[in-house]
């Protein structure tokens, strides 16, 4: 079995990101929500509403209102 230290894996990932012209932690494209189930949309809407009631932004941005 081949073992790999996490620090070595992180270095490999950073090199690959550099080759692809990516930087930072925001290089992953957001999920469009195109194939999201109605139940998941309801859950995301409830999270957003609860956050609004507490006067805070949701922990993450979601496209819960988009029609499938």
In a domain, 15, yes or no: no
Residue 6 is assigned to a structural domain of this protein: no
pTM, two decimals, is: 0.50
Residue 39 lies in a domain: yes
22 is a domain residue = no
Structural domain that includes position 63: 29-68
pLDDT value at 68 more than 50: no
Contact criterion met (CB below 8 Å) for 17 and 23 = yes
Domain membership of residue 20 (yes or no) is no
Residue 44 is assigned to a structural domain of this protein: yes
Length of the chain: 68
Structure tokens at 17: 């990101």
The predicted-structure confidence for 29-66, as pLDDT tens digits, reads as follows 767 788 889 999 899 889 989 999 999 988 877 766 55
Interatomic CA distance for residues 68 and 19, integer angstroms: 35
Report the domain count for the chain: 1
Q: What share of the chain is helix, strand, coil (3-state, %, to 5)?
A: 45, 0, 55
């Amino acid at each position: 079995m081949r073992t790999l230290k996490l620090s070595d894996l992180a270095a490999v990932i950073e090199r690959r990101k550099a080759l692809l012209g990516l930087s930072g932690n925001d290089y992953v494209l957001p999920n469009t929500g195109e194939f999201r189930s109605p139940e998941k949309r309801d859950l995301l809407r409830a999270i957003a509403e609860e956050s609004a009631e507490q006067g805070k932004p949701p922990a993450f941005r979601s496209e819960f209102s988009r029609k499938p």
